[in-house]
Structure 1
Amino acid sequence: MTGHAYPLTLDLTGRRVVVVGGGPVAARRARGVLDAGGVVEVISPYVCEDLSDLVDRREIVWHEREFAVGDLVLPEPAWLVHTATGDLAVDAQVAREADAARVWCVRADDASASSAWTPAVARGSKDSPSEGLTVAVTAGGDPRRATAVRDAVLAALDSGTLPVRRVRQTTEDSPAHAGRVALVGGGPGAEDLITVRGRALLAAADVVVTDRLGPRGLLATLGADVEVVDVGKTPGNHPVSQERINELLVHHASLGKRVVRLKGGDSFVLGRGGEEALHCVQHGVPVEVVPGVTSAVSVPAAAGIPVTHRGITASFVVASAHDGADQVLRAAADAAPDATLVLLMGVTRLESTARALIEAGRRPDTPVALVERGWTPQQRTTVSTLEHAASDARRAGVRAPAVVVVGDVVSVRHRLGDLAGE
């Protein structure tokens, strides 16, 4: 071949394809043609076990003999021939016969002598963002290189780092078919801490309903035609009610759209994901939950604080401190005395919460860490004690979003320091 190869996809449905050879390579070629709907005839004095199984199931026709002149044109012309006999002379003969009959020939023994090549092929799996995509790679007769590149491209498609969203509407995408909602936990904030599944669904979304927390930088990677609905809440400012958010999810899905509800942390850890899922189910909208890396564990880890540590504590409690100390006390009531308390949304009412915990029996000198904006370049940790946490937080100007950690595990930070990657 002197010029560039001309890529082409063949429709082999119901068409005659001849495979010359009976070994494992021939079996792979035969299976690929069958998957494409072709009618396979194998010509070989023997067949391997995989081909024998296909013969027994009457999925292919086996001519138990050597290749002969005229096999590619009788009883009718073949559309394609694969030759994989392992015998250079036989494969060359098949290629000459194919060339004379104007039949495309794929040679397993010598790609440079072929008139056609089979690329390394991968197809997007059903119900994944890459569904309907076919990836085919050729590499100048180097099948291992082609396979490696194909696998890398498919992995990137499935992970959402390459665009996978359908831009032309098909019958399956039409509004007559119900849309879907995916509740995606975006993790603690860093763009690369979202799960692979979450990233892929985000790349395939038609509508994204997002909060102010989570990996908002990923929104810039979306297509210009993707509708982004910002329902972000800040302390004391809830411009879009939870009821309205629920309605938005169902409304867009009812239009046949793929909707992603992108939230920080994990949707089911103080994220109201359960309420949103119930609302979708009650209105007949298919809903999927994609777990996220919860800030309750990951943000302390970023500050070098394990929520459990051998010799210090074997348990931890996660509680919302948004509405004051009562919720925290109820959550900690049945916990072990040394259990770590991880408080979300706890900055505003920190003084009353700390006082209530001391009155309930926690030591005034219990270590406390306030980790602001975990997993971002602005991450900052303020270390104090339960007795002085509120005053130290005011002095340091601690602001939400922040995670409050109460317990002796905070002391581990002195030996580890920050652990968040750059």
Structure 2
Amino acid sequence: MQPLIINLTEKKVVIAGGGRIAARKARVLHGENALITFVAPEMSEEVIQLSEEKNYTLIYRKAIQADFYEAALVILATNNREANQALAKALPSHQFVCVVDEFEEGNVTFPATIRRGHLQVAVTSNGSSPKLTRKLKKELEAQFDSSWEPYTAFLKRCRELIKQLPLSFEEKSELLWELLEDPYRISEEEQKKKWNELYARKK
């Protein structure tokens, strides 16, 4: 399987299911501004609360194939193994589908993800060991602490500025590599000095 980072802003996501797992998948997408619809005969309090917070759509009945037309992402999270399997088989092969209780029946999995500002790191065992995935996520959370949030913002600003400088490609590349040295990540003072230095070169 090929990892991808997909922008789901304003994209239609349909979740078959209204229970704990369906809510958990929706929370993963909570900050993505996706247009989420839940389809299930019954909805948990957690799903209802999420829908009130984010204006998600709730459809109170069993999911049918037509519910997933034009969906950028389908999540099959009913509490019925046979229903998930039948829906997965009915959907076209080009559609992105996550089957929460049988990894191999879909073509999408949700990796464990950490975010630190503009940095996003994802890890998955592709269904072989969810516990390993959780273990690695904890290790990555410790490795990439909160200092990476302002640092990645600094890198973004500097990259945009460096692109405007009247320098050769090689010179710009050298500057970008220099910004990856540890002092710029851990010292706000070093970041300010470097920013001022780069800005002066623009004038």
Aligned with 2:9 (options 9, 13, 20): 13
Return the alpha-carbon distance in structure 2 between the equivalents of residues 111 and 47 of structure 1: 24
Q: Deviations over 1:330-378 (max 9, x none)?
A: xxxxxxxxxxxxxxxxxxxxxxxxxxxxxxxxxxxxxxxxxxxxxxxxx
Q: Which has the higher contact order (CA 8 A, sep 6+)?
A: 2
* 8 Å Cα contact 2:184/2:191 also seen in 1: no
Is 1:33 the equivalent of 2:33?
no
Which position in structure 1 is the counterpart of 2:192? 253
Which position in structure 1 is the counterpart of 2:83? 90
Return the alpha-carbon distance in structure 2 between the equivalents of residues 207 and 86 of structure 1: 46
Return the alpha-carbon distance in structure 1 between the equivalents of residues 107 and 185 of structure 2: 46
Q: Secondary structure at the match of 1:56?
A: helix
**Matches of residues 192-207 of structure 1 in structure 2 within 5 Å?**
204-206=182-184
Which amino acid letter does the alignment assign opposite residue 79 of structure 2? G
Deviation at 1:67, TM superposition (A): 0.7
Return the alpha-carbon distance in structure 1 between the equivalents of residues 65 and 125 of structure 2: 32
Greater share of strand residues, 1 or 2? 1
* 8 Å Cα contact 1:165/1:204 also seen in 2: no
Deviation at 1:140, TM superposition (A): 2.5
Return the alpha-carbon distance in structure 2 between the equivalents of residues 42 and 82 of structure 1: 9
Aligned with 1:152 (options 129, 136, 139): 139
Which position in structure 1 is the counterpart of 2:126? 140
Q: Deviations over 1:21-66 (max 9, x none)?
A: 0111100111222322211000001111111112334521000100
Give the percent of matched residue pairs that are identical in Structure 1 and Structure 2: 23
Question: Structure 2 regions of 5+ residues with no counterpart?
Answer: 163-179, 197-203
Return the alpha-carbon distance in structure 2 between the equivalents of residues 133 and 150 of structure 1: 14
Which amino acid letter does the alignment assign opposite residue 44 of structure 2? C
Return the alpha-carbon distance in structure 2 between the equivalents of residues 252 and 58 of structure 1: 37
Deviation at 1:250, TM superposition (A): 6.9
Return the alpha-carbon distance in structure 1 between the equivalents of residues 190 and 101 of structure 2: 57
Return the alpha-carbon distance in structure 1 between the equivalents of residues 89 and 65 of structure 2: 10
TM-score relative to the length of structure 1:
0.37
Return the alpha-carbon distance in structure 2 between the equivalents of residues 45 and 66 of structure 1: 5
Change (3 A) 1:204 1:159: farther
State the structure with more CA Rg: 1
Which position in structure 1 is the counterpart of 2:48? 52
Which position in structure 2 is the counterpart of 1:312? none
Q: Deviations over 1:244-272 (max 9, x none)?
A: xxxxx979734427xxxxxxxxxxxxxxx
* 8 Å Cα contact 2:109/2:126 also seen in 1: no
Return the alpha-carbon distance in structure 1 between the equivalents of residues 58 and 186 of structure 2: 54
**Matches of residues 340-351 of structure 1 in structure 2 within 5 Å?**
none
TM-score relative to the length of structure 2:
0.74
* 8 Å Cα contact 2:18/2:40 also seen in 1: yes
Greater share of helix residues, 1 or 2? 2
Deviation at 1:107, TM superposition (A): 0.9
Is 1:78 the equivalent of 2:71?
yes
Q: Secondary structure at the match of 1:6?
A: coil
Q: Secondary structure at the match of 1:134?
A: strand
RMSD: 3.3
* 8 Å Cα contact 1:20/1:82 also seen in 2: yes
Q: Deviations over 1:299-324 (max 9, x none)?
A: xxxxxxxxxxxxxxxxxxxxxxxxxx
Is 1:61 the equivalent of 2:57?
yes
Which amino acid letter does the alignment assign opposite residue 153 of structure 1? L
